[in-house]
Structure 1
Amino acid sequence: MKPRLLFVCSRNQWRSPTAEEIYRPDARLEVRSAGVSGSARHTISQADIDWADLILVMVPTHKRRIIECFHDSELPPIESLDIPDDYQPMDAELIDLIQAATEPLLIRLLS
């Protein structure tokens, strides 16, 4: 079974959808994206939490928000990629940052 990664940012508009798009073709994984804001394109849900083996948030405040909102749930590991909200979707620098932060976590997850 492939590990399932959930990428999370604030509004699920730029960072997490970019991460989902670049990792969707990766045969090692299954991926989804969501946002923590009520105005997100897709707001993180209990179904997303239950589906994920690993949640990758863009900044630590996203992790705190998930823990706060789903405090009664058994949460999968949550790691911050530490990527600020300074980029447009599919920006080359954003892609590089996502891959540089995600790959070491994937190596650990897949080993």
Structure 2
Amino acid sequence: MKKVLFVCSQNRLRSPTAEQVFSTRRDLEVASAGTNHDADVPLTSELVAWADLIFVMEREHRNKLQRRFGKHLKSARLVCLDIPDDYDFMDPVLVRLLESKVTRHLP
């Protein structure tokens, strides 16, 4: 089972939407977190070390993750989705974007 982590800033809209969208797949174990210290679920070294595949929503998230948790990345693959913070939780447009951008990187 592949462990997939979705990361945005606050863990309130984009990454929780992605977690929910992909949580029904039997071949994936999914989680989400935010890079900001006041995120609903703050990103931790344990989460980074746990993941096989990490999707960040923006380059800024990738840079923060690499800077703060680079030594915990191990062999995790890091993918930037380039999805701006323009959507509400479970926005149908965001769901379609996630499905099209994430699926191509999954087994």
Same fold (TM over 0.5): yes
Residue 31 of structure 1 is matched in structure 2 by 30
Q: Which residue of 1 aligns with 2:77?
A: 77
| Distance in 2, Cα, partners of 1:73 & 1:105 | 21
Aligned equivalents of 2:20, 2:38: Cα separation in 1: 21
Equivalenced residue count is 106
Quote the residue 2:54 is aligned against.
55
Instruction: After TM superposition, give the deviation of residue 74 of structure 1 in Å.
Output: 3.6
TM-score (norm 2): 0.95
Gaps spanning 5+ residues in structure 1: where?
none
RMSD value, Cα: 0.9
Q: CA deviation at 1:77?
A: 1.4
> Which residue type is aligned with residue 98 of structure 1?
L
Runs of 4+ in 1 over 2 A off after TM superposition: 71-75
- Cα distance in 2 for partners of 1:28, 1:71 equals 26
- Distance (whole Å) between structure 1 residues aligned to residue 58 and residue 29 of structure 2: 21
Distance (whole Å) between structure 1 residues aligned to residue 71 and residue 55 of structure 2: 20
TM-score (norm 1): 0.92
Secondary structure of 1:37's partner? coil
Aligned amino acid, residue 62 of structure 2 = K
Name the % identity: 38
**Unaligned stretches of 5+ residues in structure 2:** none
In structure 2, the CA distance between the partners of 1:7 and 1:74, relative to structure 1 (3 Å rule), is closer
Secondary structure, in 3 states, of the residue corresponding to 2:105?
Answer: helix
Residue-by-residue CA offset, 1:30-68 (whole Å, 9 max, x unaligned): 100000001100111011011100100001110000001
Which amino acid in structure 1 is aligned with residue 97 of structure 2?
L
